[in-house]
Amino acid sequence: MSKIKMIATDIDGTIIDWNLGDFTPAVKKCIKSLSASGIKVVLVTGRMHCACSHIVNELGLETPVVSYQGGLIKDKNGKTLYQENLDVNSAKQIIKWAQNNNVHINLYIDDKLYVEKDNDFVKKYTDGKFVPYTVCSFDNLEINNVNKILAIDYNDAERVTKWIDELQKKFPELYIVKSTPFFCEIGSSMAKKSLGVKFLAKHWGISQDEILTIGDQNNDIELLKSGGIKVAMGNGTPELKECADFITDTVQNDGFVKAVEKFVISQEP
């Protein structure tokens, strides 16, 4: 087994418990120890870039962050290393689809969040994430530099699944994936977690067999593809677990730490 030089990890449901909204002391200690030993720990998330800053600071990470499912990579100084936006025409079609079907969408432009209604969905989404948002009519907004669009229904997961099926058929050229039971993510076909990890691995001269990837949701299937060791959380989806080499414990039971202990610490001389 090759020595692991890079760990590419999802955030929510992997190193942060959705319910707690924070790290356990064990996860925090583990990540700081990995960084101190020279292993590149990279956050790979569907979150906005600005919603990762406090996490980066708390963990003391020096590595770039892969946000928007792989659509944006910025280094610790805010320099953009990689960006793949949703094309303007597709974004406008998705917005019109949402308006016609009474679907709540979060619209992300230049790492800023816009919504048409200040409802419970956006309040729940932004709670604890330190994310400001603007309420306005999308018809009056310049649709350009769209990072992604997120369709949300916290009340009906089956409805979200139907959106995925419908939109994948309508827009086969886009990357459309479920990131939680309630989230339908819509972005460029080049905005995938796998591509973000490969970009950084190439930048650092790290081979695939030196990368451990770990996540919990269907949007992490792409993340796992880019790793030599593919780990699914115990709380992961059945589809993700099928793609994994190893299924660790749940986020509540520090599954991330246990995977690191098995594949990184136990391999050290």
Could you tell me the CA-to-CA distances from 20 to 17, 23, 26, 235 in Å, in that order? Answer: 5, 8, 14, 15
Task: Identify the domain containing residue 117 by its residue range.
Answer: 88-187
> Strand locations in 40-172, DSSP E?
40-43, 65-67, 72-74, 80-83, 104-109, 112-115, 133-135, 146-152
Residue range 40-51, pLDDT digits in tens: 999 999 999 999
- Convert the pLDDT of each residue in 150-168 to its tens digit: 999 999 999 999 999 999 9
What is the structure's pLDDT at 130? Answer: 74
Query: Residues 96-103: what's their mean pLDDT?
Result: 97
Where does the chain show beta strands of DSSP type E? 6-9, 40-43, 65-67, 72-74, 80-83, 104-109, 112-115, 133-135, 146-152, 175-180, 183-187, 211-215, 229-232, 246-247
Tell whether 199 and 74 lie within a shared domain.
Answer: yes
Taking CA atoms, 149 is separated from 68, 172, 267, in Å, by: 10, 16, 41
For residue 204, give the H/E element and its range: helix 193-204
Residue 2: pLDDT band by 50, 70, 90 thresholds?
A: confident
Classified as helix, coil or strand, 67 is: strand
Same domain? For 129 and 180 the reply is yes
| Single-letter amino acid, residue 134 | T
What pLDDT score was predicted for residue 20?
76
Residue 145: band (very low, low, confident or very high) from pLDDT cuts 50, 70, 90: very high
pLDDT digits (tens, 9 = 90+) for 211-246: 999 999 999 999 999 999 999 999 999 999 999 999
- Three-class DSSP category at 105: strand
pLDDT score, position 22: 86
Q: How far apart are CA 76 and CA 261, in angstroms?
A: 27
How large a percentage of the chain has pLDDT more than 90?
94
172 and 243 both lie in a single domain: no
**Average of per-residue pLDDT values in the chain:** 95
How many domains is the chain built from? 2
Tell whether 153 and 216 lie within a shared domain.
no
Shared domain for 218 and 136, answered yes or no, is no
Residues 40 and 130 in one domain: no
Asked if 140 and 109 count as a contact pair (C-beta separation under 8 A), the reply is no
Q: Say yes or no to pLDDT of 269 above 60.
A: no
The answer to whether position 1 is within a domain reads: no
Mean pLDDT score, 131-154: 96
Looking at residue 114, which CATH number applies to its domain? 3.30.1240.10
